[in-house]
Amino acid sequence: MDTQIEKLVLAAKEAAKNSYAPYSKFPVGSAFEDLGGNIFNGCNVENLAFPSGLCAERTAICKAVSQVGPKLKIKILIVYTPTARVTTPCGACRQVINEFALPDTRIICVCDSDSILDMKFSDLLPESTIIDELM
């Protein structure tokens, strides 16, 4: 794993420590680098009024958009779960990532074992419509 990926994994793990997951007991952290080299991270924040909570990926993306604006483009996105097997983004997160990803955006899912899933966004959500095509 190269140093930039390691830096992002550490940022995702740090974010997971702040997770608010009293209902699922499933903390998740996410971190990503945008095309400008900025790094953003986020954790899941649950709410008893399901589905009012936010997943870690969406928290990080919302945080980034609020800071750099709607032209955000994700270069590499990490999802970390403190589990033995990797966990991929849920369907809602895949749709939100789609708004800000490029087809070759790397999605890397890591966990507490050596298991890693590293793929292009176009493989995570095939046949999706990229928002740039609509505008």
Query: Which residues are part of the catalytic machinery?
Result: 57
18, 25, 50, 99 from 81: Cα distances, Å? 13, 11, 20, 23
CA-to-CA distance for 93 and 59, rounded, in angstroms? 10
* Strand 101-110 to 74-80 pairing: parallel
CA-to-CA distance for 99 and 101, rounded, in angstroms? 6
Q: Residue 29 in contact with residue 13, Cβ under 8 Å?
A: yes
